[in-house]
Amino acid sequence: MKEIFKTIKWNTTISALVCIGAGIALFVWPELFTLMACRAIAMLLVVVGVVHLLSYLLERREAFRQQADLAIGAVLFALGLWMTLSPGFFISLIPLVLGAVVLVHGIQDIRYGLSLKKTAYEYWWSAVIFGIFSVLFGLTMIANPFGSASALTMLVGVALIYDGISDLWIVSRLSRSARRFSQNVADHFQSFEDAKDGVVYTAKEQDVTEENMD
């Protein structure tokens, strides 16, 4: 269980830092960053597509795997080429995709807040409020009520920065509450060392009892 929580903590932390970095870039350079990101993704798709096509042409494999390499390579190469020649369409999808990401993160933050409540953390409700705002940010990005693409992109940047910071705060509270809860459980079991005649003695009481018996 401890390892699972540690994995969740690191995954959330990395995801939050990526969101903050992308958010700052989108807010400072809204048009430039989206165009560069689109071209980088397009180049990556073209390269991966070419690798699959070369694998189909050069390697001897089972018929099914060969056909899979051909199909995957052709689709990725075509998609990457399309993104390179017509980046505007894919740039318009960025707010939708990132809005969905922020929406999912907001729902996760609400769940984390409810988990904090179970650990008796006093300010668990603050995590829930952070999550609700993230959900609202995500829905706004998906609905796109702005006429200006640049304004929407800057809002996406602000939403990602907020989402990353709130995730870092919530995961730090979860980590602290989990450590405190584990310590309380350990202290509880550490205090019971022995049971005698239906009475539970702590280690200190056991020593005193033995001295009296002597």
Residue 86, pLDDT > 60, answer yes
Instruction: Give the mean model confidence (pLDDT) for residues 132-147.
Output: 82
pLDDT digits (tens, 9 = 90+) for 62-72: 666 677 778 88
Q: Which two tokens stand for residue 15?
A: 């995801």
pLDDT category at 132 given cuts 50, 70, 90 is very high
Rank 19-28, 171-180, 183-192 by mean pLDDT and report only the highest.
19-28
**183: Cβ–Cβ under 8 A, 6 or more apart, which residues?**
none
Comparing 87 with 198, the larger pLDDT belongs to 87
The reported pLDDT for the residue numbered 197 is: 47
Give the pLDDT band (50/70/90) at residue 6: low
